[in-house]
Structure 1
Amino acid sequence: MLNGFDYKRVAVAEDVSLNVAVAGTGTPIVLLHGFPQTHLMWRHVAADLASYHTVICPDLRGYGDSDKPADDYSKRTMAADIVALAQALGHDRFALAGHDRGALVAFRAGLDHPDTITHVACLDVLPTLDMWDAMHGVTAAVGFHLYLMAQPPGLPEQLIAGAPDAFFGHFLDVWTNDPSAIPADVRTAYLAACRDAIPSIVADYRASAGIDIEHDQADLAAGNRLRMPVTVLQQDWGAALGYDAAALWRAWVADLDHETVPYGHFMAEEAPAEVTKALRTLLARGAQRGS
């Protein structure tokens, strides 16, 4: 649990309640976790931000201690969950930061709810359409899990269930530059949460190979862009896979601050002070513009 945070269960849909930790006062910011993690990934950043802001850290639907419905893991639905969560806590407008899967939810929330989301931060992802286009040749082996979990229901779930700790632990091992950033007790909590959520985690990824693409293609065709200030922090995957990450993001964002960073994928745990500084800078950009 996050020290100093109050925990609640908040209904966000007819059959879904989210586990959420809340602390602090001031303008609200919601922090969304990635794979294969829970809201605990924000433990350092959240504690720092709570000195200045109301900080809201949920487990996404299908993850952690939140409900895990059998289907409907489109990022549109998951983004609507977060808007409903914030509104239930009394916030009609709020900033949103996401890592990995949570960043895709934040991206979709910004497109679908531009009058609600004041700022967006995305950590170490590309928008879904660009992600699939960037994966090609043998370098795409780094994203093997994307293709595995995109398969029809049945086989991915069965294979992962055969060795869940090996599967989920693989990413905790190879995606970090500093293994000490995820101590043994936190790693144990992540693995336990994943073991209990295999079907819903796979459903989340499967949506990114289907309905999420349709939603993004429709926005791209309509010329929809993120209108709020946006910060993107990501590793230099473009050097390996042959793309310009900042250029890809500029196609979606009008007011972009893009930074390539030297940290590993789990940057909120490896470099929390730097991530916190970037989020504070993002929120200040909005204040300077009077938003």
Structure 2
Amino acid sequence: MSSARTTPTAEVLHYSAFAADPSGGNPAGVVLDASALDDDAMIAVAAGLGYSESAFLTPGPDPDDSRSFTLRFFSPKAEVDFCGHATVATAVALGERFGTGRFDLHTPAGRVPVTVREENGALKATLTSVPPRVDEADPDDVAEALAALGWKAGELDSALPPKIAFAGVRHLVLAAANRQRLADLDYDFDRLLALMRRLDLTTLQLVWRETPTVFHARDPFPVGGVVEDPATGAAAAAFGAYARHLRLVPEDAQLTIHQGHDMGRPSLLEVALLPGEASIRVSGTAIPL
């Protein structure tokens, strides 16, 4: 059973998503019944928890469908249209209470179906993203991002060009040429925050390619008031679209993304591309805290 914290108006559950151990993954608060909370109360709960995002459920648009919910996400600073790790945490919490199977989650970014199954004695959730897209990144914006990061253009992997990828929210994808460049992350928080607000970015998806289908990632998240996200399901979905757009991988590729290791919170995100299906699937476990 998961631990819970009681506020005057809501019970908050605590999970770490994309890890099988509480010392890893990305923590999220989950409120399974947020009907009594207004926007100010939800952001107050999120700010009090201090997690990168927390999830708040209310009944879905179909009152006769007990597996349909409206899902909103709040960082400690503001509402976020979509959050992958909080979606996985929410799906596992729902699976614990209502059993495995499919749930329909209606988010500000659109409808996100999730399925929950038991695997090796633990619950694993798979989300199906909204239709993604990949846009060109302005060279001047890329230069400003590199300046804020303290990176040089020559430290990028020329085979993985900068793009803006979307699968619910926008991410600037920058690929490091080597693992050490990715490991050495010490950026100008305010400068990067200003750029991300101007471009409506949720994170930077900084990646290094270990093999054709295995990647390492780090995600600065200053717009959420967080220096770095240890596991970013929304960015993983967007990166799946990026990899397909650039034809880096086959149409039916299964990608593995390692994130959080440099923070001491190792996370594992599984990304599936399916032929003929625009949406990207992201899978992971979540463990109660």
Greater fraction strand: 2
With normalisation by structure 2, the TM-score equals 0.35
With normalisation by structure 1, the TM-score equals 0.35
